[in-house]
Structure 1
Amino acid sequence: MLIAFNKPFNVLCQFTDRSQPPRATLAGFGLPANVYAAGRLDYDSEGLLLLTDDGTLAHRLTDPRHKQAKTYWVQVEGVPSEDKLQALRDGVQLNDGPTLPARVELLPAAPKLWERTPPVRFRKTVPDSWLAITLREGRNRQVRRMTAAVGLPTLRLVRAVMGPYALDDLQPGQWRQLD
């Protein structure tokens, strides 16, 4: 079984949380029994999370050797210069080493998304931009660290595509079974 789930902002990619106070988890969304997340999506990130009951499939989706492309829509603070976009495309140096090259596009407009709760803080004097970033690796908080490294802090991060699977029209907290 393979499930596409639109993980809301501030939800853990697990079914339990032992922290105090407990945070929202996947347990509150009526997902089928015996599925688990194939990969991670940070607590403060949103969008496509795949869940499965098939360990071999989970491994194929998440193991770096299989290099499944993951596309993120990233709202950043500022307007990126071509130099900053090219630095992201070429790979940036992070504290755990250089990133692999990425596909990076400046989007002409914000993607059509749901309202986030709480909303991203709006500042009249600070412009923002949206990027589509496609990676074939998956380090901890990689997209946020990459954009920060080139002087474009991430304000909002939404995973739209993972391998051949896309978020499509799923709303936050909704899921569907995939073929």
Structure 2
Amino acid sequence: MHKKGDELYKELKKLIDKVLDWIKKNSKRVEKASNIADEATLLKFMRRNHIKGNIDVSYVLRISNNKKNLAESLLLSLKEIKEGKTIIQLVRYFKITDSPLLASLSNYQARIWYSWKKMQIEGQIRNIRKLEDKAKKAFVLRNEYRTATRQYMKDHNWADYLE
């Protein structure tokens, strides 16, 4: 009985060693498959992609739910930002139309489109008399714009995440 226990122990140890060897050999694949980001990984990504600025990487991780693909996409979007412009100026700068083509807007452009449409809600409900009806219409329009924004986004990972 004692001999059988030793054999079982040796077999188990071999199996554990094999698993550890596999993990060492495939750690990059496991990391990629897991799609989990950390601050060090994102800082390296930022250097590789020449993304500069005072960026709170922990905030990027938090809003992307630590998902590597979302965090990297968000960081790449920062390169597109045009500071000091109003929403209307940005709409003109990027030539954003009232009804863009599906999957045609970057994350930043989609945010601009949504902000622009949201600004228009007040004008669209101005002539509605009852406050309750105004609130309902504003709610419906905002939800329509949110849905449309996701459809207009090129980045389907973010669009799906926002849904």
TM-score over 0.5 for the pair: no
> What TM-score range do you get, normalising by the shorter chain?
under 0.3
Q: TM-score, structure 2 length as denominator? A: 0.22
Q: Identify which of structures 1 and 2 has the higher relative contact order when contacts are C-alpha pairs closer than 8 Å and 6+ apart.
A: 1
Greater share of strand: 1
Which structure has the bigger radius of gyration?
2
Q: TM-score, structure 1 length as denominator? A: 0.20
